[in-house]
């Protein structure tokens, strides 16, 4: 038994940004979202570089050891960012978040760095699969502020870890799917401005993948969308 994905993706620069620093991949065995940091064109260079590196894993048959291949690809992407900065010092400070899932037999290997998110929609419930690498999440973990306060905190977008060419400690986990599961990967342009109740409503109402992805982006745009917003929606097929 193995798993593959049916996917749809939508990305938008939002209403306040001049460029889109997000990059996405929506394939049959790999889904990924990367949200560039560093400002100007450098953020989009970092996110595109990381997504391009991971996209090479989206082949059938897949690598013999998907979990190891995913780790190696993340390390390669991190090295590539360092090498790009060394070749062009004007890119200093660039980096990117990364959230990705790779099919591995009958499970998915998930990697997470930064504040892009992965969610699972199962039996009418939306569950966050990742923990934000952010300053405000640290405050929530310590009980200093509530999750509701974190949503409106002025430093909610301050990430504490990114793929940026230096030391990196990604979070890895294995996700075991069930028939009927739908996964959502998104940049913080969605999760910072649209609450999970509204996200869950669209996931429930839109059976069509493309309509679901577009509906989620439309919610962010309706909320003002001051940031880039990217969404990948994936349905599981077990074969």
- Domains of the chain plus CATH, in order, are 15-181 (3.60.40.10)
Structure confidence by residue, pLDDT tens digits, 109-166: 999 999 999 999 999 999 999 999 988 888 878 888 887 777 778 777 789 999 999 9
Single pTM value for the model: 0.94
Alpha helices in 90-239 (DSSP H): 135-141, 147-151, 188-191, 196-205, 209-222
pLDDT of 228: 95
Q: What gap in Å lies between CA 27 and CA 9, rounded to an integer? A: 10
| Count of other CB atoms within 10 angstroms of residue 143 | 7
The tokens 């997504």 sit on which residue? 51
Nearest-CA neighbor of 117 among 225, 199, 219? 199
Provide the strand spans (E) within the chain. Answer: 3-12, 22-26, 30-37, 95-96, 98-104, 107-113, 117-122, 125-128, 171-175, 182-186, 229-238
pLDDT of 144: 87
pLDDT value at 38 more than 70: no
Percent of the chain at pLDDT > 70 equals 98
Q: What gap in Å lies between CA 43 and CA 77, rounded to an integer? A: 14
146: exposed, middle or buried (Cβ count in 10 Å: 0-12, 13-18, 19+)? exposed
């Amino acid at each position: 038994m193995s798993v593959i994905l049916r996917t749809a993706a939508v990305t938008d620069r939002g209403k306040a940004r001049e460029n889109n620093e997000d990059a996405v991949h929506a394939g049959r065995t790999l889904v990924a979202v990367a949200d560039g940091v560093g400002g100007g064109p450098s953020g989009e260079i970092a996110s595109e570089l990381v997504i391009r590196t991971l996209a090479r894993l989206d082949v059938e048959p897949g690598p013999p050891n998907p979990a190891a291949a995913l780790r190696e690809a993340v390390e390669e992407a991190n090295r590539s960012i360092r090498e790009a900065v060394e070749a062009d010092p004007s890119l200093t400070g660039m980096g990117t978040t990364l959230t990705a899932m790779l099919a591995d037999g009958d499970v998915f290997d998930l990697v997470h760095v930064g504040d892009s998110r992965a969610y699972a929609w199962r039996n009418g419930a939306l569950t966050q699969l990742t923990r934000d690498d952010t300053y405000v999440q640290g405050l929530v973990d310590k009980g200093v502020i509530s999750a509701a306060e974190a949503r409106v905190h002025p430093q909610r977008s301050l990430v504490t870890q990114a793929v940026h060419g230096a030391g990196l400690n990604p979070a890895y986990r294995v996700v075991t799917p069930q028939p009927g599961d739908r996964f959502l990967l998104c940049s913080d342009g969605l999760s910072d401005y649209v609450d999970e109740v509204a996200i869950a409503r669209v996931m429930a109402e839109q059976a069509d993948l493309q309509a679901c992805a577009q509906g989620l982006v439309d919610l962010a745009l309706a909320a003002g969308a001051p940031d880039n917003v990217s969404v990948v929606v994936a349905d599981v097929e077990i074969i």
